[in-house]
Protein backbone atom coordinates (compact mmCIF):
# COMPACT_ATOMS: atom_id res chain seq x y z
CA UNK A 1 0.00 0.00 0.00
CA UNK A 2 1.43 3.42 -0.94
CA UNK A 3 2.11 5.97 1.79
CA UNK A 4 0.05 9.15 2.04
CA UNK A 5 2.97 11.17 0.68
CA UNK A 6 3.31 8.80 -2.29
CA UNK A 7 -0.43 8.96 -3.01
CA UNK A 8 -0.29 12.75 -3.03
CA UNK A 9 2.71 12.66 -5.38
CA UNK A 10 0.99 10.23 -7.74
CA UNK A 11 -2.18 12.32 -7.89
CA UNK A 12 -0.15 15.47 -8.54
CA UNK A 13 1.71 13.63 -11.29
CA UNK A 14 -1.54 12.48 -12.89
CA UNK A 15 -2.94 16.00 -12.63
CA UNK A 16 0.09 17.45 -14.38
CA UNK A 17 -0.36 14.93 -17.18
CA UNK A 18 -4.06 15.81 -17.37
CA UNK A 19 -3.17 19.48 -17.80
CA UNK A 20 -0.81 18.78 -20.68
CA UNK A 21 2.47 18.42 -18.77
CA UNK A 22 4.06 15.05 -19.66
CA UNK A 23 6.71 15.55 -16.97
CA UNK A 24 4.02 14.51 -14.48
CA UNK A 25 4.91 10.94 -15.45
CA UNK A 26 8.15 11.33 -13.50
CA UNK A 27 6.14 11.65 -10.29
CA UNK A 28 4.55 8.23 -10.80
CA UNK A 29 6.08 4.92 -9.77
CA UNK A 30 6.54 3.20 -13.14
CA UNK A 31 7.52 -0.20 -11.84
CA UNK A 32 5.88 -3.58 -11.25
CA UNK A 33 5.09 -2.56 -7.67
CA UNK A 34 3.87 0.81 -8.89
CA UNK A 35 1.59 -0.94 -11.36
CA UNK A 36 -0.15 -3.03 -8.71
CA UNK A 37 -0.11 -0.25 -6.11
CA UNK A 38 -1.88 2.05 -8.55
CA UNK A 39 -5.05 0.00 -8.10
CA UNK A 40 -5.11 1.31 -4.52
CA UNK A 41 -6.47 4.42 -6.26
CA UNK A 42 -9.86 2.69 -6.11
CA UNK A 43 -9.73 2.93 -2.32
CA UNK A 44 -8.72 6.60 -2.47
CA UNK A 45 -11.60 7.36 -4.83
CA UNK A 46 -14.09 5.23 -2.89
CA UNK A 47 -15.59 7.94 -0.63
CA UNK A 48 -16.48 10.11 -3.63
CA UNK A 49 -17.72 7.09 -5.57
CA UNK A 50 -19.96 5.99 -2.69
CA UNK A 51 -21.62 9.41 -2.59
CA UNK A 52 -22.22 9.16 -6.32
CA UNK A 53 -23.69 5.66 -5.99
CA UNK A 54 -25.98 6.80 -3.16
CA UNK A 55 -27.18 9.75 -5.25
CA UNK A 56 -27.84 7.44 -8.20
CA UNK A 57 -29.64 4.99 -5.92
CA UNK A 58 -31.90 7.80 -4.74
CA UNK A 59 -32.78 8.48 -8.38
CA UNK A 60 -33.96 4.94 -9.12
CA UNK A 61 -35.01 3.78 -5.65
CA UNK A 62 -36.74 6.52 -3.61
CA UNK A 63 -36.59 6.65 0.18
CA UNK A 64 -39.85 4.71 0.62
CA UNK A 65 -38.28 1.66 -1.03
CA UNK A 66 -37.11 -0.94 1.55
CA UNK A 67 -33.52 -0.55 2.73
CA UNK A 68 -32.53 -4.00 1.47
CA UNK A 69 -33.69 -3.07 -2.03
CA UNK A 70 -31.85 0.25 -1.94
CA UNK A 71 -28.69 -1.47 -0.73
CA UNK A 72 -28.98 -4.01 -3.53
CA UNK A 73 -29.30 -1.22 -6.09
CA UNK A 74 -26.28 0.60 -4.68
CA UNK A 75 -24.15 -2.53 -4.71
CA UNK A 76 -25.12 -3.17 -8.32
CA UNK A 77 -24.22 0.42 -9.20
CA UNK A 78 -20.89 -0.09 -7.44
CA UNK A 79 -20.30 -3.22 -9.52
CA UNK A 80 -20.94 -1.21 -12.68
CA UNK A 81 -18.62 1.57 -11.54
CA UNK A 82 -15.72 -0.68 -10.58
CA UNK A 83 -16.26 -2.83 -13.67
CA UNK A 84 -16.14 0.23 -15.91
CA UNK A 85 -12.84 1.16 -14.22
CA UNK A 86 -11.11 -2.23 -14.36
CA UNK A 87 -12.42 -4.05 -17.46
CA UNK A 88 -11.30 -1.42 -20.02
CA UNK A 89 -7.79 -1.52 -18.56
CA UNK A 90 -7.75 -5.30 -18.93
CA UNK A 91 -8.89 -4.89 -22.54
CA UNK A 92 -6.09 -2.37 -23.17
CA UNK A 93 -3.51 -4.72 -21.69
CA UNK A 94 -4.74 -7.58 -23.88
CA UNK A 95 -4.64 -5.67 -27.18
CA UNK A 96 -1.71 -3.33 -26.51
CA UNK A 97 1.03 -5.54 -27.95
CA UNK A 98 -0.98 -6.21 -31.10
CA UNK A 99 -1.25 -2.49 -31.81
CA UNK A 100 2.33 -1.59 -30.94
CA UNK A 101 1.66 -0.14 -27.50
CA UNK A 102 3.08 -2.91 -25.33
CA UNK A 103 5.82 -0.60 -24.08
CA UNK A 104 3.26 1.91 -22.76
CA UNK A 105 0.95 -0.41 -20.84
CA UNK A 106 2.46 0.25 -17.41
CA UNK A 107 2.61 4.00 -18.00
CA UNK A 108 -0.99 4.22 -19.17
CA UNK A 109 -2.53 1.96 -16.53
CA UNK A 110 -0.73 3.65 -13.64
CA UNK A 111 -1.52 7.15 -14.89
CA UNK A 112 -5.12 6.24 -15.62
CA UNK A 113 -5.70 4.74 -12.18
CA UNK A 114 -4.49 7.81 -10.33
CA UNK A 115 -6.33 10.10 -12.72
CA UNK A 116 -9.57 8.29 -11.89
CA UNK A 117 -9.18 9.55 -8.33
CA UNK A 118 -9.23 13.10 -9.63
CA UNK A 119 -12.23 12.41 -11.85
CA UNK A 120 -14.16 10.80 -8.98
CA UNK A 121 -13.65 13.80 -6.71
CA UNK A 122 -14.32 16.30 -9.51
CA UNK A 123 -17.77 14.74 -9.93
CA UNK A 124 -18.52 14.87 -6.20
CA UNK A 125 -20.23 18.31 -5.95
CA UNK A 126 -23.19 17.54 -8.25
CA UNK A 127 -23.59 14.14 -6.59
CA UNK A 128 -23.82 15.81 -3.16
CA UNK A 129 -26.29 18.34 -4.55
CA UNK A 130 -28.52 15.56 -5.92
CA UNK A 131 -28.34 13.70 -2.63
CA UNK A 132 -29.08 16.56 -0.21
CA UNK A 133 -31.43 18.63 -2.39
CA UNK A 134 -33.41 16.42 -4.82
CA UNK A 135 -35.38 19.35 -6.37
CA UNK A 136 -32.07 20.55 -7.88
CA UNK A 137 -31.77 17.44 -10.09
CA UNK A 138 -31.88 19.44 -13.34
CA UNK A 139 -29.25 21.93 -12.17
CA UNK A 140 -27.08 19.09 -10.89
CA UNK A 141 -27.40 17.39 -14.27
CA UNK A 142 -26.13 20.53 -16.01
CA UNK A 143 -23.14 20.67 -13.67
CA UNK A 144 -22.50 16.96 -14.22
CA UNK A 145 -22.50 17.30 -18.00
CA UNK A 146 -20.21 20.33 -17.83
CA UNK A 147 -17.75 18.55 -15.55
CA UNK A 148 -17.94 15.46 -17.74
CA UNK A 149 -16.90 17.49 -20.80
CA UNK A 150 -14.00 19.01 -18.87
CA UNK A 151 -13.02 15.51 -17.71
CA UNK A 152 -12.96 14.29 -21.31
CA UNK A 153 -10.45 17.00 -22.25
CA UNK A 154 -8.31 16.18 -19.20
CA UNK A 155 -8.53 12.47 -19.97
CA UNK A 156 -7.36 12.97 -23.55
CA UNK A 157 -4.37 14.99 -22.37
CA UNK A 158 -3.54 12.32 -19.81
CA UNK A 159 -3.73 9.66 -22.52
CA UNK A 160 -1.50 11.69 -24.81
CA UNK A 161 1.08 12.14 -22.04
CA UNK A 162 0.99 8.49 -20.99
CA UNK A 163 1.10 6.96 -24.49
CA UNK A 164 3.74 9.38 -25.74
CA UNK A 165 3.32 8.51 -29.42
CA UNK A 166 1.61 11.60 -30.77
CA UNK A 167 -1.89 13.03 -30.81
CA UNK A 168 -3.22 10.64 -33.45
CA UNK A 169 -2.35 7.51 -31.48
CA UNK A 170 -3.56 9.13 -28.25
CA UNK A 171 -6.88 9.96 -29.87
CA UNK A 172 -7.29 6.40 -31.13
CA UNK A 173 -6.60 5.02 -27.64
CA UNK A 174 -8.86 7.60 -26.02
CA UNK A 175 -11.78 6.86 -28.34
CA UNK A 176 -11.25 3.12 -28.09
CA UNK A 177 -11.21 3.19 -24.29
CA UNK A 178 -14.28 5.43 -24.19
CA UNK A 179 -16.19 2.99 -26.37
CA UNK A 180 -15.14 0.05 -24.18
CA UNK A 181 -16.26 1.92 -21.04
CA UNK A 182 -19.66 2.65 -22.58
CA UNK A 183 -20.11 -0.96 -23.71
CA UNK A 184 -19.06 -2.35 -20.31
CA UNK A 185 -21.43 -0.01 -18.49
CA UNK A 186 -24.31 -0.93 -20.81
CA UNK A 187 -23.70 -4.67 -20.50
CA UNK A 188 -23.38 -4.52 -16.71
CA UNK A 189 -26.46 -2.32 -16.38
CA UNK A 190 -28.41 -4.82 -18.45
CA UNK A 191 -27.02 -7.90 -16.73
CA UNK A 192 -27.70 -6.49 -13.26
CA UNK A 193 -31.21 -5.30 -14.08
CA UNK A 194 -30.47 -1.62 -13.55
CA UNK A 195 -31.93 -0.58 -16.89
CA UNK A 196 -35.38 -1.81 -15.91
CA UNK A 197 -35.09 -0.03 -12.55
CA UNK A 198 -34.32 3.25 -14.28
CA UNK A 199 -37.30 2.79 -16.61
CA UNK A 200 -39.60 2.00 -13.70
CA UNK A 201 -38.39 5.04 -11.76
CA UNK A 202 -38.93 7.27 -14.79
Q: Are residues 28 and 100 in contact, defined by beta-carbon separation less than 8 angstroms?
A: no
pLDDT mean for each 10 residues of the chain (202 residues): 93 96 94 95 96 88 72 92 96 93 95 97 93 87 95 96 94 96 94 67 40
The domain ranges of the chain are: 4-201
H helix intervals, the chain: 4-18, 32-37, 41-60, 67-96, 105-122, 124-132, 137-163, 167-191, 194-201
Which pLDDT belongs to residue 132? 87
Which pLDDT belongs to residue 194? 81
What is the C-alpha radius of gyration for the chain, rounded to an integer number of angstroms?
18
Q: List all residues 6 or more positions away from 128 whose beta carbon is below 8 Å from its beta carbon.
A: 51, 55
Amino acid sequence: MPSTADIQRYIIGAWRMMTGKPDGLRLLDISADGFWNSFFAIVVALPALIVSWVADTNSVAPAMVPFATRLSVMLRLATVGIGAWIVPLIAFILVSRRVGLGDRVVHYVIANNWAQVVFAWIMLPPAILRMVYPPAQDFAAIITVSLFMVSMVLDWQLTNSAIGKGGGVATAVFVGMFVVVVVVEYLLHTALGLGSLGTAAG
